[in-house]
Chains A and B, each alone.
Chain A
Amino acid sequence: EAQVTQNPRYLITVTGKKLTVTCSQNMNHEYMSWYRQDPGLGLRQIYYSMNVEVTDKGDVPEGYKVSRKEKRNFPLILESPSPNQTSLYFCASGRGGLAGDTQYFGPGTRLTVL
């Protein structure tokens, strides 16, 4: 089954404790992206990657890091999480390397930072 998976699905952590949210896709997509969704603000792009070893900042990159060492994986790293990073996070992937092409979303990770 073609899908984007994220882990963990739910995470409660404390300020300053480094965490990683994994994202993996099995569709051989070149494009991958991370979004956060907050009430009243909609979906906002954090980082994206056009291909292996190519990453770029989105609209709200502060406080986040990403890496793209393999085509299928695109982990999101919070080195020192803060309460304002409490949010619902979605990973997405798309085909053909075109950022404007259809994107397929993972099920989301609900993060709470205390």
Chain B
Amino acid sequence: RKEVEQDPGPFNVPEGATVAFNCTYSNSASQSFFWYRQDCRKEPKLLMSVYSSGNEDGRFTAQLNRASQYISLLIRDSKLSDSATYLCVVSKGGGGADGLTFGKGTHLIIQP
């Protein structure tokens, strides 16, 4: 099983729609979870951290299911500017010196 697995897409979604994607991870010792956004040829930027209790930031909602080892991201009322690649990111260990593992990303295209 890959460490962090995402559907690469692309997801073609009409503007205004709701879109959701999931990510699964294999390391049960992971403690920190994030979604990053990456625009073409640019650096990844933190979109949001993911907590067991779930968290919401405007149109974006992230959820973590530790038992099933998956993370989700929901985007409501999608905008053209949401077009990007979304990277699921998981810490390698329990907050120690092990770094982060990145998924390969899900490509999202919002169409007018």
- Interface residue ranges, A against B (CB under 8 Å): 33, 35, 40-45, 48, 50, 56, 58, 88, 90, 98-108
Contacts A105-B44, A105-B45, A108-B43 given; indicate if A100 touches B31 (C-beta within 8 A). Answer: yes
- In-complex Cβ contact of A43 among B30, B87, B94, B98 (8 A): B87
With both chains docked as a complex, state the minimum distance between the C-beta of B51 and any C-beta of chain A, in angstroms.
13
Alpha-carbon distance between A65 and B101 when the two chains are bound, in angstroms:
20
Q: Tell me whether B42 and A108 are in contact (CB under 8 A).
A: yes
Q: Is the interface of A mostly helix, strand, loop or mixed?
A: strand
Q: Tell me whether B99 and A58 are in contact (CB under 8 A).
A: yes
Closest to B6 in A: A42
Q: B46 — which chain A residues lie within 8 A by C-beta?
A: 102-104
- Interface residue ranges, B against A (CB under 8 Å): 30-32, 34, 41-46, 49, 87, 91-105
What are 25 A-B pairs with beta-carbon distances under 8 A?
A: A41-B104, A42-B104, A44-B102, A45-B99, A90-B43, A98-B32, A98-B95, A99-B92, A99-B96, A99-B97, A99-B98, A99-B99, A100-B31, A100-B32, A100-B91, A100-B94, A100-B95, A100-B98, A102-B46, A102-B49, A103-B100, A105-B44, A106-B43, A108-B41, A108-B43
Alpha-carbon distance between A107 and B45 when the two chains are bound, in angstroms:
10
Most buried by B among A35, A99, A107: A99
Most buried by A among B30, B92, B97: B97
Alpha-carbon distance between A106 and B45 when the two chains are bound, in angstroms:
10
Contacts A43-B102, A100-B31, A102-B34 given; indicate if A90 touches B44 (C-beta within 8 A). Answer: yes
Alpha-carbon distance between A99 and B99 when the two chains are bound, in angstroms:
5
With both chains docked as a complex, state the minimum distance between the C-beta of A54 and any C-beta of chain B, in angstroms.
8
Closest to A106 in B: B43
Most buried by B among A40, A45, A88: A45
Alpha-carbon distance between A101 and B43 when the two chains are bound, in angstroms:
17
Q: A50 — which chain B residues lie within 8 A by C-beta?
A: 97
With both chains docked as a complex, state the minimum distance between the C-beta of B60 and any C-beta of chain A, in angstroms.
16
Contacts A48-B99, A99-B96 given; indicate if A107 touches B43 (C-beta within 8 A). Answer: yes
Q: Tell me whether A43 and B44 are in contact (CB under 8 A).
A: yes
